[in-house]
Amino acid sequence: MTKIIIPALLSLLLLSVKGQALPYQVITVADELNYPWSLAFLPDGNLLVTERTGNLKQLSAAGEVTADVAAALPELYVAAQGGLLEVLVPAAYSQNQQILVSYVCGDGNANTLCLASGRWQAQQLTDIRQLFKAEPYRKGAAHYGGRMVQLPDGSILLTLGDGFDYREQAQNPANHLGKIVRLQPDGSVPADNPFIDQPGYASEIYSIGHRNVQGIVYDAASNQVYSHEHGPRGGDELNRIQAGKNYGWPVATRGIDYTGARVSPFRQYPGMAEPIWHWSPSIAPAGMTLYQGELFPSWQGNLFITALAGKALHRLEMVNGKVVSEQLLLTELNSRLRDVRSGPDGALYILTDSASGKLLRLLPAPQ
């Protein structure tokens, strides 16, 4: 009898889970985006989208492409993980129409991450100025970081990667590999940066010991900065970023090399900050937003993280700076997801990662 009842109950359970309606609907706003990397909202409701292959597009809220500019960035280098990366619309945009873009500059033998400002006006990017160039140059086209967030004081946190082959340099405070740096929107160094007067330290550094940071947000309610970074095989991390702290890579890591070799014997090490959440196996986190919209009231204050390898949107419920639960959304798309942002309309906007990438809008399911 039990042989019949247990499978029947399991089938019913499966059916009820499968039949459960998703709490959201996904609308394709735009498609045919060539490896879209980041998006930002302009005050007038339009969106800016970067394509890693070098173009900056402006889209209307309805998804119509109203501008498509091959950004004339100094020394732009497009290869593998390199190219045009993040676009940030600073708070002062309404006054000066200035935007910031991070991108890879140089060539195959010597390249690095650069930050430039430009004036976005009349659907053109003009007055482009290179503000910052991470040092030193490296070979290869991997692990650039490239995400940005603006803090309430107007300064910008810019994330950087370890260059893959240079992982030990993430612990070297004299350069920018594997660091988060803090700059003013004009590229100057804030006077209160944590290592500003320390000999042997690059003055731009805000935190050290990162591998490849591809998501960063500021939570005004708690005055906290969160960032996530790719681990190697396992060991993707969500960190609470504080000025001057060391986040451990490559000394303290839960990941191992792609070859199976241990990167380090240590999962933790004294003096190195531990992640507040981690993923093993890796999900390859690639974008992040703190949801504060009104369309999904129960999601307010949650972190949303797009995953490339994980092919999902991770919703992390945060309570007092701690992750209390995790939910995977958009798994039904089976797509690599590059970036996620909270829209001014309360919807979540997601970029998929492919040569014909899409901009998706996540809305509550119709009643």
Is the CB of 235 or the CB of 343 nearer to another protein?
A: 235
By residue count, the chain amounts to: 367
Measured from the CB of residue 255, what is the shortest distance to another protein in angstroms?
Answer: 12
Instruction: Tell me how far apart the alpha carbons of residues 162 and 227 are, in angstroms, rounded to a whole number.
Output: 15
- Asked if 277 is part of the footprint of another protein (rule: CB under 8 A), the reply reads no
Among the listed residues 261, 294, 319, 320, the single contact to another protein using CB under 8 A: 261
Instruction: Tell me how far apart the alpha carbons of residues 350 and 340 are, in angstroms, rounded to a whole number.
Output: 4
- Asked if 220 is part of the footprint of another protein (rule: CB under 8 A), the reply reads no
Among the listed residues 217, 251, 313, 340, the single contact to another protein using CB under 8 A: 251
Structure tokens belonging to residue 290: 């703190």
Measured from the CB of residue 58, what is the shortest distance to another protein in angstroms?
Answer: 31
- Asked if 250 is part of the footprint of another protein (rule: CB under 8 A), the reply reads yes
Is the CB of 170 or the CB of 290 nearer to another protein?
A: 170
Is the CB of 62 or the CB of 258 nearer to another protein?
A: 258
- Strand, coil or helix: what is 351? strand
Is the CB of 140 or the CB of 301 nearer to another protein?
A: 140
Among the listed residues 69, 119, 139, 173, the single contact to another protein using CB under 8 A: 139
CB 279 within 8 A of CB 236: yes
Strand partners, 287: 306
What are the b/e assignments for 78-115, b being 16+ CB within 10 Å?
Answer: eeebbbbbbbbbbeebeeebbbbbbbbbbeeeebbbbb
Q: CB atoms < 10 A from the CB of 316, how many?
A: 21
Q: Looking at 248-256, 273-281, 304-312, 328-336, which segment touches another protein (CB under 8 A)?
A: 248-256
Is the CB of 183 or the CB of 353 nearer to another protein?
A: 353
Instruction: Tell me how far apart the alpha carbons of residues 245 and 197 are, in angstroms, rounded to a whole number.
Output: 16
- Strand, coil or helix: what is 169? helix
- Asked if 355 is part of the footprint of another protein (rule: CB under 8 A), the reply reads no
How many chain residues are in contact with another protein, going by CB under 8 A? Answer: 24
Residue 257, CB-side half-sphere exposure with 13 Å CA sphere: 12
CB 66 within 8 A of CB 48: no
- Asked if 265 is part of the footprint of another protein (rule: CB under 8 A), the reply reads yes
Measured from the CB of residue 212, what is the shortest distance to another protein in angstroms?
Answer: 11
**What would the x/- binding string for another protein be over residues 157 to 196, using CB under 8 A?**
-------xx-xx--x-------------------------
Is the CB of 81 or the CB of 117 nearer to another protein?
A: 81
Among the listed residues 99, 263, 284, 362, the single contact to another protein using CB under 8 A: 263
DSSP letter for each residue of 46-87: -EEEEETTSEEEEE-TT--EEEEEE---TTB--BTTBSEEEE
Give alpha helix (H) positions in the chain: 2-19, 93-96
* Residue 176 annotated as catalytic: no
Is the CB of 124 or the CB of 268 nearer to another protein?
A: 268
CB 318 within 8 A of CB 302: yes
Among the listed residues 26, 33, 141, 351, the single contact to another protein using CB under 8 A: 141
Site for another protein in 25-84 (CB under 8 A): 80
Site of interaction with another protein (CB under 8 A):
80, 139-142, 164-165, 167-168, 171, 250-251, 256-266, 269
Catalytic residues: 143
